[in-house]
Structure 1
């Protein structure tokens, strides 16, 4: 019995993962990760790192972060508490959806996750207060490979559901995409 319903999005390789709850009067069990099942959706390799984040205030935006090869990573993003507008941007040079974005509402209630392949930037906006997220990463964080896009870049034209607020000083200073931007070469 599969614990996930995997659904493709308009961006090749980006998958919506619907977790299946098993429950009764006592509560429920929800599988967050299964290497065998997620391999069918594009997960390769082991989990190299797991991160847990907390965002206190509704409207806060975090992102849009990515890593260049050789540390480009697959991410499985889950919302454990609250609700977010989770955004992935295709940065794969030569992709037919290059610089296009896709978003999904992830919440503790809807049991959805986003499986984000290498070559994508990722960010989210908290739609409620007190949001908790859990990320599984296929590669460890590597500062020398990290990069980011500005969440309000007009070339991306991301439709954030709420006014953007709460950017970290680092995220607020990310440059806009220039003509010299090469994307990610995988």
Structure 2
């Protein structure tokens, strides 16, 4: 069987700079190789990313749990290593032409999002066994790093989380995230 090559594709979202990426994939009888990151591939697609990522984190999140919404002062490339998630992004960059815009979508293996610095990123694990969520940061995260947080439960953002969060259960949403300010209070 000849290899099936699917090229990388990029779709722009309603948030300036937030891009949805379908990874390049080469499939043959052995399985699939996905190209998570190649500097020249992103440059050719017009996505301005760091040539080198400073920190990479992999989280496992249980079914139904929420993480975020966090807008660090760092560009991020996020993707799913296993399972599925429902992602949400909010443009919290003062002066941005899309300030206040919200974008949501389901994420699975082979789908990535490039998240510009200052755009809040959050997700909920929706697969029964949870999900593994990969974060690449343009700069190393440090305690007290510049950035903002917005509660993922902000009713004004109207994020339709697929699994109703239980605010009384810290395994569903952390106290820190639940108590983060509403977007209007930034």
Task: Give 3-state SS (helix, strand or coil) of 1:143's partner.
Answer: coil
2:80 matches 1:79: yes
Task: Give 3-state SS (helix, strand or coil) of 1:29's partner.
Answer: strand
The match for 2:36 is: 32
Contact 1:15–1:116 (8 Å) recurs in 2: yes
Contact 1:50–1:137 (8 Å) recurs in 2: yes
2:56 matches 1:50: yes
Alpha-carbon distance between aligned partners in 1 of 2:24 and 2:52, rounded to the nearest angstrom: 22
2:171 matches 1:172: no
**What TM-score does the superposition give when structure 2 sets the normalisation length?**
0.85
Backbone CA RMSD of aligned residues: 1.8
- Runs of 4 or more consecutive aligned structure 1 residues displaced over 3 Å after TM superposition: none
Alpha-carbon distance between aligned partners in 2 of 1:89 and 1:47, rounded to the nearest angstrom: 22
Task: Give 3-state SS (helix, strand or coil) of 1:38's partner.
Answer: helix
Alpha-carbon distance between aligned partners in 1 of 2:147 and 2:99, rounded to the nearest angstrom: 19
Task: In structure 2, list runs of 5 or more residues that go unmatched.
Answer: 167-171
Tell me by how many angstroms 1:99 deviates: 1.3
CA deviation map 1:21-76 (0-9, x unaligned)? 101111111011112222321213420100000012x2211100122xxxx11111
The match for 2:98 is: 97
Task: Give 3-state SS (helix, strand or coil) of 1:36's partner.
Answer: helix
Report how many aligned residue pairs link the two structures: 173
Contact 1:3–1:31 (8 Å) recurs in 2: no
Alpha-carbon distance between aligned partners in 2 of 1:93 and 1:130, rounded to the nearest angstrom: 34
Q: Which has the higher contact order (CA 8 A, sep 6+)?
A: 1
Residue from 11, 24, 40 that aligns with 1:20: 24
Task: In structure 1, list runs of 5 or more residues that go unmatched.
Answer: 182-186
